[in-house]
Each structure stands twice: as C-alpha cells, then as structure tokens.
Chains A and B, each alone.
Chain A
Amino acid sequence: MDTISTDVAIIGAGGAGLRAAIALAETDPTLRIALISKVYPMRSHTCAAEGGAAGVIKPDDSFDLHFDDTVGGGDWLSDQDCVEYFVHEAPKELLQLEHWGCPWNREADGSVAVRPFGGMKKQRTWFAADKSGFHILHTLFQTSLQFPSITRYDEYYALDLLVDDGRCQGVTAMEMRSGQLRQFHAKAVIIAGGGAGRMFPFSTNGAIKTGDGMAMAYRAGAPLKDMEFVQYHPTGLPNTGSLLTEACRGEGGILVNKNGRRYLQDYGMGPETPVGKPQLKTMELGPRDRVSQAYWHELQKGNTVPTQWGDCVLLDMRHLGEKKINERLPLVRELCASYLQVDIVKDPVPIRPVVHYMMGGISTNTAAATPLPGLFAAGECACVSLNGANRLGSNSLIELLVFGRRAALSAIEHIQGLPASNTAALNARAGETQQRIDKLFSSTNGTESMSGLRKEMMDTMEKNVGIYRTEDGLQEGVSKIHELRQRYCDVKLTDKSNVFNTDLFQALELGSMLDCAEAVTVGALARKESRGSHQRLDYVERDDKKFLCHTMVHHQGLDVPRVDYLDVVITKSPPGVRDYSGDHK
C-alpha cells in the first residue's frame, strides 16, 4: 500500500474542508496539506444551500442579538461559549469571502445586502440570490487553487482513521478510479465530511451525504453528540425532496392549509402578520422545528392538501410578483417549474417537511477539537454545539467557515513538537482496512442485498424517528437498526471490479449510515423530553433538570452503543421560553 506523508489531512472538500485548507495554507505556507474527498470539491453538498449565511453587519444589529436568536433557536442546548465565539467570528469570515470574490447581493450604495430569515430577530443573512451555498463553495474552491501547498485527492473515498499512541495520525483512503488503497500519514486530521441525511428516504440531501466522516470518527473512538436532533426543513418539494429555501418565506411567502388558513398562527407563532410584509421571528419566520411540527399537527387534523405526491400544505409566493421572484428566488422558481410544473408566480406550490440537517455529529469543542487528540472536525459532520436542538437557517453556511478555519488553527497548534510516529504501527492499522475491503471482495456468500438493507433502514428511520417520536416507535427503531447492522456483515457485493466501483462505495456508505442511524435512534430513545427538533409524544415538555445536557454516543463494535451525557455550557442565558409571537405578548 502506498503511503502519502503529509502534515494535515483533511477529509471532505466542501465548505468547511476548503476553508480549513485555505487557512492552513495561508497561516503556514510550508505545511503539506492533503485535501481528500470522495467527490470533486465543487460537487460537495455545500453547493445546494440556498438562502444565505448569517453575520452581524448592519448598524441596527448586535452580537448579543445574534447570540440570543441562536441560543433560543437551539432551545438552550447550544454551548454558549461556542455561540459567543461564533457570532464574533461570523462577520469576519463573510467579509473574507467577500474579498475572495463571493458575489453577494448588494444594496444600491454597494454595501452587502442582508435578508430576513427564520428565527432571526434582525436582518443579518448575507445572500447571493438563492444560490448562496453554491457561490460560497465555488469561491472557496477557486480561491484554494492559488495555494500550491494544497494537494487535492479528488475522488478518494476515506475509510478509516489511523490511531496510534492515543492520537489520530492519518487515514486510509481508496482512489476510486483505480481501487487502490492508500494510507495518509498525517500529524493531524480534520474531518469535514458533511451530514448523514441520506439515512432518511425523504431528504434534501445529495446522494453523497452518508455520514462517512461521522462514522469514521465514531468507529475510531470519538463520540457522536446530540445525534437525535434531526432538522426537518418545512418547505421541500413533495416529490424530489428538493429544498425550497427559507428565503421564500423571508421574502414574504406564506404557508396556508387546505382551507387557505395561515395555520402557523394556531401553533404559538401568531397572531397573523400582513401578507407580503414578513415580520421577523414570527409566523412564517418562526424557527424550522416549530414550522415543521405545525405541519404534522395539520396533518393529524386533516387540514393538509392531498396531492399525487402525498399530503402537503401550500407555500404561496404569488404576491411577491415576478420581478422580485426572478431577482431573489430564481432557483426556487426554476425548481418548481421543472420538477413540479408549477409556476410560483401564478400558483401556490405544494410542499411538505423534509429531512435537511443533522444538528448532531462528531463531538467537538469551540476549538473544533474532538476528544481524540489529533482529530478535528468542522461543518455538519461535527457537533460543536452551536446549533443546539434546532439550527437556525443561515447559521450553517457560516458555521462551515468559522469552524473550518478554527479547525485549521487548532491543527497547527497541535502539530507543534509532536513526537515521531510509529510507522510500523500505522502500517498495521492500515492493514486492517485492507483486510476489511478484501473481505468484502472475497466474500462469495453474501446474502443481504445492499439496496434491500438500505430501504429497510430508510423506512425504519422515517417511521420511527420522524418529526414526532414515541417510546414504542423508538424501541422498535433501535432494535431494527441494530438488527440491520448485524445483517450488514453479510452484505453482498455484486461488482468485484477495481475501477470506479460504485457498488462498493454504496456498500461502504450504507455501513456509515447504519452506524449514524444507530446513534440517532439510541440517543432519541434515551432523551425522555421534548426539545427543539426532538419531540416526543410521551414526554411533551422540555426537562431542564434531567436533559440540559448533550447526548454522547460511544461506538461499541457490533454491540449497542454506550450513551452518556455532557453538561451544556451556559454562560449568560439561562434556559427560558422560546417566544415566536412577534411583538404581540
């Protein structure tokens, strides 16, 4: 097996991975940086983010307000030291991106424009039409091309972390086009591998979001934190699950049920605001968890609209007018027209909540460090405890930048004065990966079909770990996912070729998703309260006495994982009531 020696290996070349790579290259041009990704950087799922990125820039705004919105939006499960750091860094990162050429929308005077977003008390979401993530990703990728010290390993599928002497010292990865396994010996590793939304059947997430980075860290001994918090985006296309950005509502779109009623007013987000004049932090600009949960209640009441794609509610943007829609929501118009054949200028569009984002992930602290020395993580794969129990829209694009950079700085700090590594031990670790792959290839008696297992996993997650959860459903979910993990040992690999074998990669991705799915179900079962996106029909209240803490799930091989808890860091905002009733008290 070829060995590639590097200083820092980064797994994932989306927003967080690229930001980390650039920060490393800028801070110390002598560092050797290996940027490893299973897709070409511009294919990373950052590109699908639409609405924008939050950062305090306008004179009527303040760091404290952004802090309060984030902490309250997260139902007090955010670590407040982390939020504090984040809100201060956010504008700097957005300005940095502006200097690198990001085509942010502008005010008439040439300053950066901001738009309203759900759960935010001020307008602070920087945006590039409704392709903000796309532009952030391409700006970062193109900027990264000027740094010779960044060596990209595009279409390398990362497999296992190399851990020796109690610290992470590299990773094994397979070159997808040749099937060759390589080991990267690195002084520090940054995981920026994205989320795991594909464990659900109906998701905004691209095919690549299979939790590989999370699972890799988890298997290597780093705990997964708060995995039970899965965000449903309220407005997905009912057939493909494609995202219709929250900016649809930020710009003034309204949600109505089959009776034409703006039903959000019935779920603590009213009273009604005038159509076309969105008011911050109320009605359609409530937080995503609440808005998605309101859909569920409407469904129970029979107020949804039956369509050929299932039960929907309607997102009405007609009153925005064609000009504004074309200027600010061109992608949304195009998506609805092509995939649903609905012109949002003329008709309301049927939508329903769709799995969008994992608040949980690899446990990290504010320095983006995991409990495993030498291993850092940033972006959706990490849980730095910024988003708590519910992420606010437009906080994740900026999270990528703030903590991508922070992971890089922490990695540089870590590699100073490290003892020499034991190459023989690392080679032995890499050999274990080789054996795992060889076993998949040589097994002739695989009995479990991959697509079959995948379908069972997705169905289980949808049925038992959806917007509202119960003890019985979660029990069933835990045992089913556990069973699937056992059966996965006999997964059948049909394609035995070495060259771009997507059958193999899908099998490996399924393994990652099952690991993550188990952490989600186990965490959800253990959390006997309702908080943010984790809603239990049998424990409907938030329980700050028992559960003002992070769920930490530890991998135990094929056994059921171990769960323990970590206190939430509270600095200045004691748990309070989430109020989305606007100015009407």
Chain B
Amino acid sequence: MTQMKERLVQLEVLRYNPDTDTEAHFQRYEVTCYEEGVVLDALNKIKADIDPTLNFRWSCHMAVCGSCGMMINGEPKLSCHTFLREYEGVIRVEPLTHFPIERDLVTAPDDFMEKLKRVKPYIIPKEDKPISEGEYKQTPAQLMKFRQYSMCINCMLCYAACPQYGLTPEFIGPAALTMAHRYNQDSRDGGRKERQEVVATHEGVWECTFVGACSEVCPAHVDPASALQQMKITSSIDWIVEHMIPGGKK
C-alpha cells in the first residue's frame, strides 16, 4: 500500500475579531496537508492543531451544503471544492466579498436570505389540487426546462462575484432572481405575475448589466446570467404587450 502524499501549504487568512480589531488583517499559517486535499482541509488542520480561534463555516465537504464559500486568491470558491493541487505558493483566503464580516471568514448572509424570500420561491399553484388527485403530470422535457435553475445551493458565490451587487446593494441579485425564474418555468406554477412585482423592477433584473461573473463562479452550474437575461426578455415582452399593443393592457 502506498501512502498518501503530503505537502506543505501556506495560507494567508484574513482575520477579524470585533472584540479586538478595528480593521481586518492577514495572518500567515503553514500546515502539512494531503496533496489531494482541499483548502478546507488545510483550514481544519489549522483550527485543530495550530489556532483554535480561527473561525469559518463548513459542513458537507462535498459541495452541496453551500456553507464554505470564501474568496480564494480573489476568486469566490467553495473551500471544500478548491483543490490544493491547483495552487502554488501562498494561498490567500478571505471572507466572501460584498457581505459584512462577522468574524474571520464568517460573513452575515441576512441580506441574501431576505431577498430570497422576496421573490416567492415556492409553487403558487394555478389552481388548487388536492393530494388525493395524485401528482401533477410533468414530462421530462418540462422538468428539464427548469431543473438547472433548481440546482442552486445558495452558497452566495454569485453575490460575491457580482459587481452590481457590490455597488448597488438593493439589487435582488443573481441567485434569488434565478430562483424566481426556476418557479416561473415550472409547469406546476402560476405565480409569475406575482413575482414580476419584484423581478421586473430596477432592483430586479434591470439592475443586471450582464457582467456574467455569476455564471463563471457558480459551483453548481446553475447559470444565473442566463436566467436573468431570459427574464429581461420576457419582462420586455410584457411591457410591449402592455404599452404598445391596443387592448394588450393587463
């Protein structure tokens, strides 16, 4: 049996403790990790063996719970899915940008949570159907129409990547708007009109200038940029129907 190879990893981690600090500062750590490990493994090793006061969130270690989003060398990443083998030299780890830092790598996601709720991310049925009548029929094609957008793990990397969100915090943002699109596209849903009150506004899709960063950093391949551009088109069509076609007013 061969042994797992180890390597020395150098990390520069942004630290902030509200009890003692007025500003955040970088702290350098050196730790030995398995070569095939991820940045999160290095952080856990630091916490267990070197510095128990280093704080960060994590849970699943398989890129599905969305807890461990961080900036790694300036890029929003899930630290459980950022492989040490892809890095040389010192790895710089910071909390997700565009969110207030509670402490060290822990940010406050309150704004995102509130925005997610605003887009009504749940089925608003076209008509009530009791459970006793069985399932809604939905063909595989109808499922595929929205499935990609249902893969969002709410890790908020897209918010950290989106400069519009950084500059205009009122922006509903990529993940939440994508969730509106996900339900709008679902054959079981009839709630699009209600969601448009949030979606088709200046804080909604029209704040998006299609930087496309959200889709580039999304670890779940959701492609929020695509969802938002599609919603811009449908919202524009709504407007045209409403304002330019006689009798088209809703």
List the interface of chain A (C-beta within 8 A of B).
39-40, 42-45, 47-48, 92, 95-96, 98-101, 103-112, 131, 134-135, 138, 142-143, 145-146, 154, 177, 206-208, 239-243, 306-311, 331, 335, 338-339, 341, 450-451, 494-495, 497-503, 506
Contacts and interface: CB of A to CB of B under 8 A. Distances in A.
B192 interface: no
Nearest first, the 10 A-B pairs at minimum CB distance are: A110-B137, A206-B59, A451-B48, A101-B123, A306-B1, A494-B52, A495-B53, A142-B121, A206-B60, A500-B103
B103 A145 contact: no
B102 A239 contact: no
A110 B138 contact: yes
B131 A108 contact: no
Given A145-B121, A145-B122, A499 B62 contact: no
Nearest to B150: A103
**Which among B3, B36, B62, B189 has the greatest number of chain A C-beta atoms within 10 A?**
B62
**Which among B52, B81, B116 has the greatest number of chain A C-beta atoms within 10 A?**
B52
B140 A108 contact: yes
Interface residues of B, number: 67
Contacts of A502: 47, 55-56
B116 A145 contact: yes
B120 interface: yes
A99 B131 contact: yes
B24 interface: no
B180 to A, nearest CB: 11
Interface string B206-239: 0000000000000000000000000000000000
Nearest to A96: B131
Nearest to A154: B113
**Which among B2, B123, B189 has the greatest number of chain A C-beta atoms within 10 A?**
B123
Contact of B83 (A95, A103, A110, A338): A338
**Which among A101, A131, A339 has the greatest number of chain B C-beta atoms within 10 A?**
A101
Interface of B: 1-5, 17-19, 34, 36, 47-49, 52-53, 55-67, 81, 83, 102-104, 106, 108-109, 113, 116-117, 120-123, 125, 129, 131, 134-140, 142-143, 146-147, 150-154, 179, 183, 186, 188-189
Nearest to B60: A206
A48 B18 contact: no
B61 A308 contact: no
24 contacts: A47-B64, A95-B131, A95-B134, A98-B136, A99-B135, A99-B136, A100-B122, A105-B140, A108-B139, A108-B140, A112-B135, A177-B106, A207-B59, A207-B60, A308-B1, A308-B2, A311-B1, A335-B62, A338-B81, A451-B52, A495-B53, A497-B17, A500-B106, A503-B55
A451 B136 CA distance: 50
A441 to B, nearest CB: 13
A391 B245 CA distance: 61
B66 A99 contact: no
Nearest to A307: B1
A342 B136 CA distance: 39
Contacts of B129: 99
A465 B29 CA distance: 36
A248 to B, nearest CB: 15
A502 B189 CA distance: 41
A5 to B, nearest CB: 23
Contacts of B136: 98-99
A528 B67 CA distance: 42
Contact of B137 (A92, A100, A109): A109
A44 to B, nearest CB: 8
Contacts of B120: 145-146
Contacts of A500: 55, 102-104, 106
B52 A495 contact: yes
A206 B179 CA distance: 25
A154 B67 CA distance: 13
Contacts of A98: 135-136
Contacts of A40: 109, 113, 154
B135 A45 contact: no
Contacts of B147: 103
A449 to B, nearest CB: 9
Contacts of B81: 338
Contacts of B62: 48, 240, 242-243, 335, 339
A437 to B, nearest CB: 17
A99 B189 CA distance: 10
A108 B140 CA distance: 6
Contacts of A339: 36, 62
Contacts of A338: 63, 81, 83
A134 B17 contact: no
Nearest to A334: B63
B149 to A, nearest CB: 10
B139 A110 contact: yes
A241 B80 CA distance: 13
A106 B139 contact: yes
Contact of A111 (B4, B53, B137): B137
A142 B119 CA distance: 10
Contacts of A331: 64
